[in-house]
Amino acid sequence: MSALADQQRTHRQHFAAPGGSHDKLIRLLRVLLPAIVGMLIAVLAVSPFTDSREISFLLAKDEVDIAKERMRVNEALYRGEDSKGQPFSLRAGSAIQKSSKDPLLQMKDLSASIYVDGARASILAGHGAYNLEEEVMQINGPLTFDSGKDYRASASDDAQFSMVDKILRVGGKFSYISDKGFDVTASNVEFYVDDRRLQSFGPVSGSTRVGTFSANRLRGDLNARTITLVGNAQLRIRQGAIR
């Protein structure tokens, strides 16, 4: 073995010997490294409070979760007053407003309560929409109306009811049944609930205690029990009904 190799081996032996320079270096690093790490953590922790610069960023719109519904309510209740100052209420199992610009509340399991001639009347419907600005119910499916006194009415579809003026407009089939022996079925009608005025713009048929009738259109004051048949009017009197 050469003299140079012996010299290098001797140097490494001295470096690795117990109590040598290698051990001294390890002991020093054991102290210095944790201290340096602790100082770095401390600097990082306080730097947000000592840096006065503002940081801003722009978030791409296509990466933002956009709320499709502005408001969703379960067991919704809306109260108001009609044109006579009488209270009314509108309940729904659920109500959704799609946006702040849309005044319509999409409702399910609708029920409304109004006052007619001092009696509490009720309206029931499966689903529809309520216009918060106009206070009008738009019913897409069947609707039933109970006066709370002596008559009931129903609409098959395409019904609109003004909570303030208490006017029911029906584009589909409308039925009116009175406990006093009068009923009428018509399409495309306007029914004024407060004074029981009925106007039909489509075919109408019905019955009274004296017989049955039909026509192309009808105008009626149901409080006064008078009706006017317009266009192709037919009336069949039952024998013995008038004495």
pTM of the entire predicted model: 0.65
What pLDDT score does 104 carry? 80
Of 150, 3, 166, 21, nearest to 80 by C-alpha is 166
Q: How many residues belong to the chain?
A: 243
User: Which conformational region is residue 153 in: left (phi greater than 0), alpha (psi within -120 to 50 degrees), or beta?
Assistant: beta
What pLDDT score does 199 carry? 92
pLDDT for residue 55 is more than 50? no
What pLDDT score does 31 carry? 63
Q: At what angle do helices 3-16 and 21-50 cross, to 10 degrees?
A: 60
- Summarised one tens digit per residue, pLDDT across range 59-91 is 343 444 444 545 566 677 888 888 888 888 888
- Summarised one tens digit per residue, pLDDT across range 13-47 is 555 556 566 566 666 656 666 666 666 666 565 55
* Contacts with 38 (C-beta within 8 Å, 6 or more apart), sequence order: none
CA distances from 28 to 11, 16, 22, 61, 82 (A): 21, 16, 10, 54, 89
